[in-house]
Amino acid sequence: VLLSVALGRGVAAVGGDKPQPGIVLLAVAGASACAVLVAIGPVLCLAAIGGLAAAGWLPVIAQFGGVDLTLVDIFYVGAVVGYASGLLKESVSTARPTRGRSPIPQLPAILFLAYAGLTLWHVQAVAPGELGDSLVSWLRVVQTASLAWLAAAVIETKRDLTVVLGSIAAGGSVAVL
């Protein structure tokens, strides 16, 4: 159905002058590839995030009220949803042992991010027009910080680590070219 809608939009050239079915087919193929990576699991989503960021390729997919939605954001949501669904499966099934707590203390990082979030009240009081930009910036910092925690939570095997680091290395190599 989505393919039909996308092709119909491209052929009818809604919002443009000329039909561009080639671009629409490419976009549908890219969206399908992203959906496959997200469906496979959070490790591949983290690998995609690392590879795209290392390559410096962060295409903006859409904009909502001044907020850019990038391809990395799609993979981030996929990683979070994949992690959450894994937790749900783990809680239902007792066959898989639960992972131990992280030896890295997380409270200082959480307190720092909470404090940074509280500074938004000051921005609201001093420059209310800047609150939207400041909120988006804070959310991006929280998103970036949560990647470290998410990586520690989902990378369980040496193979997982190899996939993520290999993707980052490949992305860095592409950036150099």
**Residue 47 pLDDT:** 94
Q: At what angle do helices 131-154 and 42-55 cross, to 10 degrees?
A: 120
The pLDDT, as a whole number, for residue 19 is 55
Burial of 154 (0-12, 13-18, 19+ CB in 10 A): buried
Contact between residue 137 and residue 66 where contact means Cβ atoms under 8 Å apart: no
Are 23 and 49 a contacting pair, CB within 8 Å?
Answer: no
Give the least confident one: 5-14, 57-66, 105-114: 5-14
How do residues 65-108 score in pLDDT, each as one tens digit? 778 888 888 889 889 988 888 888 877 765 555 555 555 677 88
- Both structure tokens of 124: 């609201």
Residue 68: closest CA among 76, 77, 59? 59
Strand 67-70 relative to strand 60-64: parallel, antiparallel, unpaired?
antiparallel
- Partners of 60 in the β-ladder: 70
The span from the CA of 75 to the CA of 29, in Å, is 16
What percentage of the chain carries pLDDT values higher than 90?
23
- Model pTM score: 0.74
Location of structure tokens 């159905």: 1
Tokens of 80: 């979070």
